Amino acid sequence: MRKTTIALVLTVSLAAGGLFAQKPFVLTATGKKRTYDKITSDASGTLTVTAGKISQKIKTSAYKYAWVPLQQAPEVSNMYRAYKARKYTDVVVAFNPAYKKYRHLGWECFSILMVAKALNNLGKTPAAISKLELIKGKPDNPTESKYYFQAKRLLAELYVKNANLDKAKNALKDLSQSKDDAIVAFANNIRGDIYLKEGKTKDAIIEYAKTALLFEKTNKKERPEALRKIVQLLRQEKNNKAKNFEKILRQEYPGSKYLEGL
């Protein structure tokens, strides 16, 4: 049973854990971490690493992953600032240079997530889906993996929104690897949404109930959303148990948007 909620955010968390303070590094194929003053990458992932006045090449077969701090990835910084300023068109324009230069340096998932969010906010959902589909597998870099799960979460949501249910199910399989409770709760809810679209109301209620009953009230998004959906579905079935879930929702989330119109 999961009893904690870990929030993943796209704001000052970029600086947490020393993302600005750390030096660029490469984790070699043998598992050794080597730091450098500067790291660049070509389109294929071959690195050029510089320490002092000495530079050398590192082929993709010789390392597991590489990473540079945000201050050494100005194109990515530009995307992030544009997104925070809600200049979504600027985010889209900034994506290609950011993605090409830093996709092998720890910023692939982040760049894709930023542009997909921007495109979705511009009402270009199919384009957002296409960008998210560029991500093929979970990155080895733990710093990047959190953005991977956020991207997969958005992808699953957009698939359901566009009735691509089979693809949504596959995206949920990827989310099952997450250790973040909010992601798992989200996956339960999306799975419930899929069942609803398939006409499987009882299965949908079970998925929503997993979120409602297995998570604490500190979860203020997925859990109250699940409670609301349970109440609505049970009411449709004229099931008196709807009152029990409504009571939980009203007592534990007073003033929540999920109470509106209920």
Q: Is 34 helix (H, G, I), strand (E, B) or coil?
A: strand
Give yes or no for residue 219 having a pLDDT over 80. Answer: yes
Q: What pLDDT does 177 receive? A: 77
Give yes or no for residue 2 having a pLDDT over 90. Answer: no
- CA 181 to chain CA centroid, Å, is 13
Instruction: Taking residues 166-189, report their average pLDDT.
Output: 89
Question: Which domains, ranges and CATH numbers included, belong to the chain?
Answer: 16-69 (no CATH), 73-161 (1.25.40.10), 180-262 (1.25.40)
Give yes or no for residue 124 having a pLDDT over 80. Answer: yes
Mean pLDDT of the chain: 90
Q: What pLDDT does 20 receive? A: 47
Q: What is the pLDDT of residues 48-78, one digit of tens each?
A: 999 999 999 999 999 999 999 999 999 999 9
**Distance between CA atoms of 114 and 67, rounded to whole angstroms?**
18
**Distance between CA atoms of 115 and 174, rounded to whole angstroms?**
20
Give yes or no for residue 115 having a pLDDT over 70. Answer: yes
